[in-house]
Structure 1
Amino acid sequence: MLFWTALSLALSLRLALARSGVERGPPASVPQGDLLFLLDSSASVSHYEFSRVREFVGQLVAPMPLGSGALHASLVHVGSQPYMEFPFNQYNSGQAVQDAIRAAAQRMGDTNTGLALAYAKEQLFAEAAGARPGLPKVLVWVTDGGSSDPVGPPMQELKDLGVTIFIVSTGRGNLLQLSAAASAPAEKHLHFVDVDDLHIITPELQSSILDAMQPQQLHVSEVLSRGFRLSWPPLLMADSGYYVLELVPRGELGTSRRQQLPGNATGWTWTGLSPDTDYDVVLLPESNIRLLRPQHVRVHTLQEEAGPERIIISHTRPRSMRVSWAPAVGPEIALGYQVQLGPLRGGGSLQHVEVPASHNSTMIQGLAPCTAYLVTVTAAFRSGRERALSAKACTPSGDRTRAPPGHQGP
């Protein structure tokens, strides 16, 4: 009993020192980590655009510290199949990596970014590709904004493993989708820039990448009104220590929450929080091998805005359908809605329909028969935030000899 009491007091003292800033870590050293560039090398990118992107990435890495005790870099192409231009351990200087990037040839083919992201995840954690365990991982995805396959699930897996995601979109792409794919906050990790103006963001992106490569980075993602997710690189192992997480509403030290996690944990989701509130988070790695400094992050939960609910697809025809939804309710009234519809497979253009706040349905025309679609309804609020809900729908074939199931008449 005395042992556990003493341990609890020691943890409380370390957490208190960490919150107050008394406990300081060692001075910053040379950044270490694995940096993977994912370039859209498909036929959707012109040869001119690819050459400008290639030049941009080369300039980005040229001044960075590369070597066995610093950063390692790798390049993967997006195409019909992912292709690794060079592994992490092939080059040991910024100039050598720059030369290799400038010599890379465009691969062409389809834009299977989701497939390339899954491949990139394997390479980021594969020692055979030169990846180093226990060091920060950063992915820089340069894209024209399109993909032939879903990027959400593999991107989330990367973020769950503690990878920091930077996205550079050369002027096209869905802002909401790319914001969700990038690491939080999106304003730091997502850049929309014309291909001829990439040099403008180079210094800022260089600095952000080096910041992300500092060891023991605590990341925040999936911030909602009543919760958020934390992730960090593997600092301990199951048999070498444990973590203590503390969550404190700003200015309310007496209402803190604490969670102990095993040494092989790399993430935790806090739920049941208050909307529109600042929280201070402390991650304390307790190791029986070496001293690790606490990590801190401050998170602001979103206002409690309810988005659209229960998307209903009706009056489905081979080339049209009606999309309806339960309107957004809550303390902030929606300014309006955007309905976005696109085919789930085989590419094709997206349709966008703006709907005023006084309506909660719209008829979508110009569809293809016998095609599965993803329908997304997004509510926009005065605060600038947006909330979305998606559903799948399928048009019947053009054969009108018999009515499809659920046919409701003209």
Structure 2
Amino acid sequence: SSSCLRTMRFCRGRIYEKTSFCFVFAVVDPASNLRVLEVASKSMRVTWDASVGDISGYRVQMIPMMAGSKQQDLYVDSSQTSVVVKDLSPDTEYQVNVFSLKDLLSSEAVVVMQKTEPVKVSLECSLGVDVQADVVLLVDGSYSIGKKNFAKVRAFLEVLVNTFDIGPNKVQIALVQYSKDSFTEFYLNTHQNVNGVVKAVRSFPYRGGSTNTGRAMTYVREEIFQTNRGARANVPRVTILITDGKSSDAFKEPATKLRNADVEIFAVGVKDAVRSELEAIANEPAETHVYTVEDFDAFQRISKELTQSICLRIEQELQVSDDPFFFSELIQPRDLTFSDVGSRSFRASWEIDANNVEFFTVQFKPEDDVDGHYVSMTVPGNTLTTILPRLTPVTRYEVRVSAQYAKGESLPLIGYETTKLPLWADLCNLVTSLVTDTSFRASWTAAPGIVQAYKVHWKSLFSEEHGEKTVPGDETTTVLDGLTPETPYQVSVIAAYPHKDSDPLTGRETTDGEPV
């Protein structure tokens, strides 16, 4: 069906201009019989019956009902009516939406609610009595935390410590507090059992100072993970960073050097911590290595998930250490290229030197999205290209492609591409109204994408008189005043995007004569 919105502008009592805006509406048939199966603590299978219409694919949207958990969006092919959604938050209710897609159109959502299971450490991750690991707790003790909140940090650390079977031939724990300088509260070989570690965690002092996270990570690498301080060879090494603010010093290179020393970094950010900074510090994937909470009272919400991730990561590393060919078998994609770049989509293509890929996972997000919300797509293992849909114009995207094998997932291949500027001037019209002898109103259709502002220019066709004003990106009308009576003006409107300005919309208007 279609409908037309007609606008008329009157000038001096007669119709001066008539413009038509036509919109075509198409109905996309939704999927049906949406249901959730195989529910676990961090995953669930979403299944539905196919749409009866001609569609191009489906969008599966997972919206958590708990603040601080991430929304997920997954795109699948029209032939697929089931998908396993991973990296969910345990013990969290999700609203599951499935949309049928036809090009740029979408159906109404079919919806179901489902809660993930709570973490069952005894079933999903049971560190054996012979498991060894060296774990360093790296705690921000800067002035911004304060004594009251620091007591909550101690309580959170106690929960983490009690997760592990501690001993000289088991899991060893060290604690470093940092601010301007770093202080070793105790080394890996200081305490021989969990009681000693818990007692030390309950009583270590709050020191205060600035937040030199980079210097602290260098300190951990050079002073803590050393054999004379209890560090062991061929044992999984883990650092858990807890901070409430932005680092006062350079942190990327120290974090890279710590990771390159075979240390797995997890990061917990509280309140004002910058997630993009935490993601640059921690290991990948961020979904299991970076945790953020709104305040110090919310530690309990992430404690189970964090300890579970650490536990599973140690188990995985121990399994890998027994199989030296593990990583060599998980061949990474190569030669990521982009083509068919438009304002709303582009094509990603890659190569791989393997014939046993089950499927590829393609993830993408705006590069400057500090929340790290990736949209995911699955691509069959025999396909080396896909189109990334529903993008924002004039936006630089980070794209990750990883290969999924029976044994696990490869490291991601990462690339970047920027969408083009839309042809706004071909789609929209500039309209004027409310003409007086010294003013008139200019209005326009909103430009697509994220518009920072509109730049409105006007110039007299009889003289050098001209002007300019800036209108917020969410407004599409403004009044031009202080004009000269009975004067024709040329008006142009430009949409300002983060990286580029659009071509102008242009129009003309003549002010009325002075009232008699």
Query: Shorter-chain TM-score: what band?
Result: 0.5 to 0.7
Q: Where does structure 1 lack aligned partners over 5 or more consecutive residues?
A: 1-26, 219-231, 258-272, 283-294, 309-332, 338-353, 362-376, 378-410
Matched, 1:100 2:212: no
Q: For each residue in 1:366-403, what CA deviation from the matched residue of structure 2 results, as whole angstroms up to 9, or x when unmatched? A: xxxxxxxxxxx9xxxxxxxxxxxxxxxxxxxxxxxxxx
Task: Give the 3 Å change call, closer, same or farther, for CA 233–74 of structure 1 in structure 2.
Answer: farther
CA distance in 2: counterparts of 1:146 and 1:276, whole angstroms: 26
Offset of 1:28 from its aligned partner?
7.0
Q: For each residue in 1:160-202, what CA deviation from the matched residue of structure 2 results, as whole angstroms up to 9, or x when unmatched? A: 2221111111111222222222221112111111201212211
Q: For each residue in 1:118-162, what CA deviation from the matched residue of structure 2 results, as whole angstroms up to 9, or x when unmatched? A: 001124430111111111111111101222112111111112222
Offset of 1:296 from its aligned partner?
4.1
- State the match for 1:297 in structure 2: 409
Matched, 1:216 2:325: no
Alignment of 1:165-204 (within 5 A): 165-193=265-293, 194-204=295-305
For residue 297 of structure 1, give the secondary structure of its aligned residue in structure 2.
coil
Task: Give the 3 Å change call, closer, same or farther, for CA 235–128 of structure 1 in structure 2.
Answer: farther
Task: Give the 3 Å change call, closer, same or farther, for CA 192–277 of structure 1 in structure 2.
Answer: closer
CA distance in 2: counterparts of 1:192 and 1:242, whole angstroms: 31
Alignment of 1:379-390 (within 5 A): none
CA distance in 1: counterparts of 2:284 and 2:191, whole angstroms: 30
Offset of 1:70 from its aligned partner?
1.4
Match among 53, 56, 59 for residue 156 of structure 2: 56
The Cα RMSD (Å) is: 3.9
Alignment of 1:34-49 (within 5 A): 34-49=134-149
For residue 196 of structure 1, give the secondary structure of its aligned residue in structure 2.
helix
Task: Give the 3 Å change call, closer, same or farther, for CA 306–63 of structure 1 in structure 2.
Answer: same
Alignment of 1:327-338 (within 5 A): 335=450
CA distance in 1: counterparts of 2:495 and 2:258, whole angstroms: 40
Task: Give the 3 Å change call, closer, same or farther, for CA 63–244 of structure 1 in structure 2.
Answer: closer
Q: How many percent of aligned residue pairs carry the same amino acid?
A: 27
CA distance in 2: counterparts of 1:234 and 1:335, whole angstroms: 50
Whether contact under 8 Å (2:246, 2:277) holds in the other structure is no
Alignment of 1:109-148 (within 5 A): 109-148=209-248
CA distance in 1: counterparts of 2:137 and 2:419, whole angstroms: 35
- State the match for 1:76 in structure 2: 176
Whether contact under 8 Å (2:138, 2:239) holds in the other structure is yes
**Structure with higher RCO (Cα < 8 A, 6+ apart):** 1
Task: Give the 3 Å change call, closer, same or farther, for CA 235–248 of structure 1 in structure 2.
Answer: closer
Whether contact under 8 Å (1:123, 1:131) holds in the other structure is no
CA distance in 2: counterparts of 1:195 and 1:103, whole angstroms: 18
**AA aligned opposite 1:145:** G
Q: Where does structure 2 lack aligned partners over 5 or more consecutive residues?
A: 1-125, 334-349, 356-383, 386-398, 421-447, 453-471, 475-493, 500-516
Bigger Cα Rg: 2
For residue 418 of structure 2, give the secondary structure of its aligned residue in structure 1.
coil
CA distance in 2: counterparts of 1:39 and 1:280, whole angstroms: 35
Question: Which structure is higher in strand share?
Answer: 2
Task: Give the 3 Å change call, closer, same or farther, for CA 28–201 of structure 1 in structure 2.
Answer: closer
For residue 218 of structure 2, give the secondary structure of its aligned residue in structure 1.
helix
Per the normalisation by structure 1, the TM-score is 0.53
**AA aligned opposite 2:302:** I
Whether contact under 8 Å (1:135, 1:233) holds in the other structure is no
Q: For each residue in 1:181-224, what CA deviation from the matched residue of structure 2 results, as whole angstroms up to 9, or x when unmatched? A: 22211121111112012122111111111122226369xxxxxx
